[in-house]
Amino acid sequence: MKAGIIGLPRVGKTTIFSLLTKTHVDPLKYSTTPNVGIATVPDPRLYELAKIYSPKKITPAVIEYVDVAGIAKGEAAKESAYLNAVRTVDMLVHVVRDFKNDTIPHESGAIDPRKDIETLEFELILSDLAVIEKRLERLVKDLRKVKSKDYEIEYELLKRLKAALETEQPLRTLKLSEDEERRVKGFTFLSAKPVLYAVNLGENEISKMRNLAEECGLRKFEGMPNTTMVGLSARIERELAELPPDESEAFLKELGFQETAIDRLITETYRLLNLMTFLTAGEPEVRAWSVKRNSTAPKAAAAIHSDFERGFIRAEVVKYNDLITLRTTAACRDKGLLRLEGKEYIVQEGDVILFRFNV
């Protein structure tokens, strides 16, 4: 699944993209082509399992990030390529500037995180309104020609979404039924995508991270459905990334944090994408696999290979904590902690699974 990094120009998007993906992209080099990269999802469980299995390979879960060029005010009216690039992603990481730097002027001339969020959100809403209005015009014409229950349901649903957008309410905050979600999925509405606000702070202002919404004037967005926020200082994160691991850890402790803000951002991205992790473990490889929450065992098996789903027989499941405590699946079996699960089993976060299949 993909997360799109968006924001106004000169907010630190590309620097944060480089930190997430451990690549180097020159933030001063303008390009209309999105940068694409992979971030690994932090998961200490892999390394604990590796102590048991001594695998040849350790493979973490990953997230694909797409860094879209800065979206300026008025992009929706132009049906810009930047907004079209955002349609292909599953969620948004909206980078918001809250640092001062006289050599990098702010787009509007003043630092105001709330205003920046509202400016870009308005562009997403305008873009969605244009899509809905165009579709409604088509539906009106079609309903004059033929009576269709499906068209009538879609028409009423889009009218409801349009009314919400006209009050500047993003679609992600609406509660839709499963059927309604299915009907609107193909429109790839921008304001319907879950959003993580990444507030880029000055290096001397990281104390704001402890009460981010209050300190940055963002209480309005706190607690909104499908919305979260993470504070970070891209400059400090870059310094941490350049240090040897032991020095980086000491620096983090000095700052009063247990993990980097970049790791928190990745973890929150993963959560907003509605993903969870199951694990496979053995001598060849210890690996984390991503699946949607509430996935059945066969659906989880498909993450490994489609044959595993097609020929699914059963899943041998042990909880991560039980395996770490007892050290072997045999010991877990003896204690009655290894379970045989069928096709209806809902995979849980941290399950260590061996799939049995036949094709």
CATH of region 121-187, choose from 1.10.150.300, 1.10.10.60, 3.40.50.2300, 1.10.10.10: 1.10.150.300
pTM of the model as a whole: 0.94
Distance CA 251, CA 133 (A): 53
Q: Which of 2-16, 24-38, 280-294 has the lowest mean pLDDT?
A: 24-38
Question: How many H-runs (helices) and E-runs (strands) does the chain carry?
Answer: 15, 12
Report d(CA 66, CA 16) in Å as an integer. Answer: 11
Report the alpha-carbon distance of residue 180 to residue 155 in Å, rounded: 12
Angle between helices 234-242 and 261-272 (to 10 degrees): 110
Q: Count the Cβ atoms, other than its own, within 10 Å of residue 287.
A: 20
Cα 225 to Cα 23, 122, 137, 193, 206, distances in angstroms: 32, 17, 30, 11, 26
Angle between helices 234-242 and 13-21 (to 10 degrees): 30
Q: How confident is the model over 280-330, as pLDDT tens digits?
A: 999 999 999 999 999 999 999 999 999 999 999 999 999 999 999 999 999
Q: Of 117, 62, 104, 75, whose CA–CA distance to 234 is shortest?
A: 104
| Predicted pLDDT of residue 256 | 93
Stretch 254-269: mean pLDDT: 96
Residue (of 41, 58, 44) closest to 324 by Cα position: 44
User: How, if at all, do strands 285-292 and 339-341 pair?
Assistant: unpaired
Instruction: Decide if pLDDT at 353 tops 90.
Output: yes
Mind listing the pLDDT tens digit for each residue in 47-69? 999 999 999 999 999 999 999 87
Query: How many residues does the structure list for the chain?
Result: 359
Q: How far apart are CA 7 and CA 120, in angstroms?
A: 7
What is the CATH topology of the domain spanning 294-357? Ubiquitin-like (UB roll) (3.10.20)
Integer Cα distance of 252 and 257 in angstroms? 5
Average pLDDT of the chain, as a whole number = 95
pLDDT in tens, 120-166: 999 999 999 999 999 999 999 999 999 999 999 999 999 999 999 99
On the 0-12 / 13-18 / 19+ scale of CB atoms within 10 A, 359 is exposed
Element containing residue 196 per DSSP (H, E): strand 195-201
Count the Cβ atoms, other than its own, within 10 Å of residue 29: 7
The pLDDT of residue 107 = 82
Tokens of 99: 């640092």
Q: Which residue has the tokens 């009538």?
A: 152
* CA distance linking residue 50 with residue 55, whole number of Å: 6
Tokens in use for 297?
């065992």
Q: Which fold has domain 2-41+62-107+193-272?
A: Rossmann fold (3.40.50)
* Spans of all domains in the chain: 2-41+62-107+193-272, 121-187, 294-357
Residue 10 pLDDT class (50, 70, 90 cuts) = very high
pLDDT tens column, 203-250: 999 999 999 999 999 999 999 999 999 999 999 999 999 999 999 999
What is the end-to-end Cα distance of the chain in Å, rounded? 28
CA distance 171 to 153: 18
Crossing angle of helices 113-145 and 149-166, in 10° steps, is 150
In DSSP notation, 224-248 reads -TTEEEEEE-HHHHHHHHHS-HHHH
Answer yes or no: are the C-beta atoms of 352 and 318 closer than 8 Å: yes
| Region for 192 from its dihedrals, namely left if φ exceeds 0, alpha if ψ lies in -120 to 50, beta otherwise | alpha
Predicted local confidence at residue 78, as pLDDT: 54
**5 in Cβ contact with 17 (< 8 Å):** yes
Tell me how far apart the alpha carbons of residues 92 and 66 are, in angstroms, rounded to a whole number. Answer: 9
Q: Which pLDDT belongs to residue 77? A: 56
Query: pLDDT tens, 72-110?
Result: 776 665 556 778 889 999 999 999 999 999 888 888 889
